[in-house]
Structure 1
């Protein structure tokens, strides 16, 4: 039973409001419950908030009706639906304040409409939504795999300065993390569908542009713009999933698919990149994955649920002005970018994601620069970590609601920390099946568990109408973590390599890599402690709610 609440017209004093209600016989003892089956009782001036909201919005737009404010302190009666009183005609001068109150009053109704739309979607279309969202993740991660396996070749081909050698890898994460909070706020204001479509198209276009780059600066700029587009996609993906699927195992599995697409795409990028680099050159893979992203953007125009905000163009602009903290978002983005610059153009947070990405890149450098293996051979040696990642993303969504988050996070972090420890102790001529193989198996454990657990925790703690911002918060941490750790590893590796310049080049490079692996091990220890302290009171997550 919902509460029937009286209204107090804006600009009206408490005394005048009380007199008006008394004159209208609206005192607590005289109120007559309304028929719950009727949409509107004109003689009483009542309108159903769920079905009358769009009419009210239109009248407000046309200046035919000034909005109202709800006096929540007056509970008059109960009925089966929440209803709000509207005056036949009211003249007010506080339009902006009223519009904000009207927006806040209708936000819960918009969320309800979203779930009604989700229930009406066919199972096939829901599957198509998950495929589209995961597909863009897949293509973007595949490009990251191309960068890792082809970095030595790319550096030589476009004559990239050695001091910028890691920029093609890290600048995308930096641009992503610097803009994703703003993208999340926009998605919550204008609708996640619009933001996701724009992000997918921008991502695909600049993947193609990166493949056509002729110089190092061109590649770095194209990768940065690709990161901006991918930020729009990531921020809106969480909101689309939460509005399409109910809480519980279906949503958990959808989040797992989003996580699964990343290591799966990275593995394809490594393998396909290694093959194409030997046959057609390093650019071919970029053209393939850029085209795939644009095709998925076309699929999104049909599959993604349409915006249910019901606003006109000017109403949407006003909503963006009122709901988006532009100054705060821009300051946060600038702060993150400046903080990253102090650490060799990198970001902060999410140690687990950063260490996993660094392990992939530095393992590739070890195989190619120290053991002198080809790009294809290197890709095949990194594949075991991605196979484990795929398995974990499938299974984590199935048991995440049965094991406390504390044990999942700390246990996976401890297991993952063994990976850089093994690589730090490896010998140059050691067989692959000893340290390196085991290190690759353990490397993704923490990240792939954290992806599902983290998304569930964050989405559950944000209101339904700010789910895009929830996704932005999570992905900001992961993207900046990757950028920050890569920057730290570059500094460590470069300094130690220069200190050992008297040795042969492979041995000097090995000393730099070894120091980086030890640093990764230390960061994973910090990550384990961080998780143990921060999640000590957290129980099971991802439970179904009625």
Structure 2
């Protein structure tokens, strides 16, 4: 079947640039809120009386619902309308941010974080699918995804910085109160800039499939988050993993027999999609956990204030932005595979270097250079993997593909922290039992955890060697039959 040549440039217009800025603002809200509370945790614990064990849920609650509802959110974007879903998600995010900032007890704050995760799971896949369907010209899409890749990498560092600034100069509540004004601006821009969704697709929603996949993902992420405390070999952890697996199998069997499935498995016929998602899981396990462990080192070993710990990440933001932007220019010549491989090994080298952090270290002597090397790798990986995961996806499945790559990202982050925290804790306890000082024991645990994170990045690079090398020609979405079957296309 013949396909027309590349579409005209949308990004070259004033409206196109404004649409991209809006989508980046939506993504920034969601990405940043995963890490912005990190350095505010001690203040939150003191003010609201959290237990040590309960405090982790200020972080984890967001990840559980974010990852648990992401696939459902992405598919709903395809079925009921992307603008509708991003509006609904922004409203949920607005309300939950206000309730989080005003929380007077641990339960209200954790509940607000759970709701924030649901809102983000509605907003993010809808925004990314709007990006890939709006900027269909290959050059436009490469530039837009380059900006999205820079944003995703920047957000982890900016979130820690922003949390430190707000916590030190104001108080921890402003970590939440900063969101509502941005949400109002976003909502105004959505109605001003984004096209009205077409009429909803006829046919009933696959409710059973939605319940099965969402329950499975919630149970999976919850089990992973709880595993460091409960133990990986505990009956609760094993039971949770087995239960999540059984629900996913039941979901797959049910979907295969459904005439209008929530999750059309024909999407896996798109070459390279599965490899891109797997690469993201493994890579983000290393990258995301690095920020967590390095922040612990800066505050608990070197004694940095929240603001000072946040400022440490400023140079890294420039490194991420540089390589994500460079990748958007190189991808038309090299394809995505070399960029992923290079980025993964740069990231592995930087985190491996960080694994030598000493007890009496300094930012300039032990953190700056390896952190910058890691940031260069993060920019390449985030851009190139996201691009590979969106290449060749038909428009009617763009939301699902966006949800899959974002689910992979946050599942990888949760998995990395869970696994490496257990490694760090075991090493720290062993060193304390041997008579080491608390600072020395904690540093030793962090060193081992960072080494494991570096190994994961190297494995991601090896996986990428086997991945599809998506090029500019693959940026054009193929046509699809009503049943979701992708048709082969040739350029004319």
TM-score band by shorter chain is 0.7 to 0.9
Q: Report if aligned partners of 1:385, 1:440 keep a CA contact under 8 Å in 2.
A: yes
Q: Which residue matches 1:189? A: 79
Q: Which of 450, 462, 469 is the aligned partner of 2:393?
A: 462
Q: Which residue matches 2:443? A: 510
1:224 equivalent to 2:121? Answer no
Distance 1:138 1:340, change over 3 A: closer
1:401 counterpart SS class? helix
Q: Which residue matches 1:499? A: 430
Q: Distance in 1 between matches of 2:72 and 2:162?
A: 34
Q: Report if aligned partners of 1:497, 1:509 keep a CA contact under 8 Å in 2.
A: yes
TM-score w.r.t. structure 1 length? 0.71
Q: Which residue matches 1:326? A: 207
Distance 1:461 1:427, change over 3 A: same
Q: Distance in 2 between matches of 1:544 and 1:180?
A: 24
CA displacement, residues 340-360 of structure 1 (integer Å, 9 cap, x when unaligned) = 333334899612123212111
Structure 2 residue ranges without an equivalent (≥5): 228-240, 242-277, 477-490
Q: Which residue matches 1:300? A: 190
Matches within 5 A, 1:186-335: 186-309=76-199, 316=201, 318-319=202-203, 321=204, 324-335=205-216
Q: Which residue matches 1:476? A: 407
Distance 1:459 1:143, change over 3 A: closer
Q: Report if aligned partners of 2:285, 2:416 keep a CA contact under 8 Å in 1.
A: yes
Distance 1:339 1:146, change over 3 A: closer
Q: Which residue matches 1:364? A: 295
Q: Which of 19, 24, 42 is the aligned partner of 1:134?
A: 24
Q: Distance in 2 between matches of 1:262 and 1:538?
A: 21
Q: Which of 529, 541, 544 is the aligned partner of 2:462?
A: 529
Give the drift of 1:532. 1.9
Distance 1:145 1:184, change over 3 A: closer
Q: Which residue matches 1:490? A: 421
Distance 1:165 1:185, change over 3 A: same
Higher RCO (CA-CA < 8 Å; seq separation 6+): 2
Q: Which residue matches 1:420? A: 351
Distance 1:157 1:423, change over 3 A: farther
Give the drift of 1:378. 0.9
Q: Which of 284, 306, 309 is the aligned partner of 1:378?
A: 309
Distance 1:140 1:235, change over 3 A: closer
Give the drift of 1:422. 1.6
Q: Which of 441, 450, 456 is the aligned partner of 2:381?
A: 450
Give the drift of 1:373. 1.1
Q: Distance in 2 between matches of 1:426 and 1:122?
A: 46
How many residues end up aligned between the 2 structures? 424
Give the drift of 1:402. 1.2
CA displacement, residues 503-524 of structure 1 (integer Å, 9 cap, x when unaligned) = 3322222222122112212222
Q: Which residue matches 2:270? A: none
Distance 1:175 1:512, change over 3 A: same
1:344 counterpart SS class? helix
Q: Which residue matches 1:51? A: none
Range moving further from structure 2, 375-384 or 337-346: 337-346
CA displacement, residues 346-393 of structure 1 (integer Å, 9 cap, x when unaligned) = 899612123212111211110110011111111111222222112222
2:178 counterpart SS class? helix
Distance 1:406 1:394, change over 3 A: closer
Range moving further from structure 2, 333-342 or 293-302: 333-342
Structure 1 residue ranges without an equivalent (≥5): 3-107
Q: Which residue matches 2:482? A: none
Q: Distance in 2 between matches of 1:493 and 1:213?
A: 32
CA displacement, residues 420-454 of structure 1 (integer Å, 9 cap, x when unaligned) = 21222121112322331122112234443233223
Distance 1:208 1:490, change over 3 A: farther
Q: Distance in 1 between matches of 2:183 and 2:103?
A: 18
Q: Distance in 2 between matches of 1:406 and 1:420?
A: 21
1:401 equivalent to 2:365? Answer no
TM-score w.r.t. structure 2 length? 0.79
Q: Report if aligned partners of 2:88, 2:119 keep a CA contact under 8 Å in 1.
A: yes
2:362 counterpart SS class? coil
1:231 counterpart SS class? helix
Q: Distance in 1 between matches of 2:95 and 2:40?
A: 21
2:350 counterpart SS class? helix
Range moving further from structure 2, 211-220 or 280-289: 211-220
Give the drift of 1:493. 2.5
Q: Which residue matches 1:92? A: none
Give RMSD over aligned pairs.
Answer: 2.9
1:434 counterpart SS class? helix
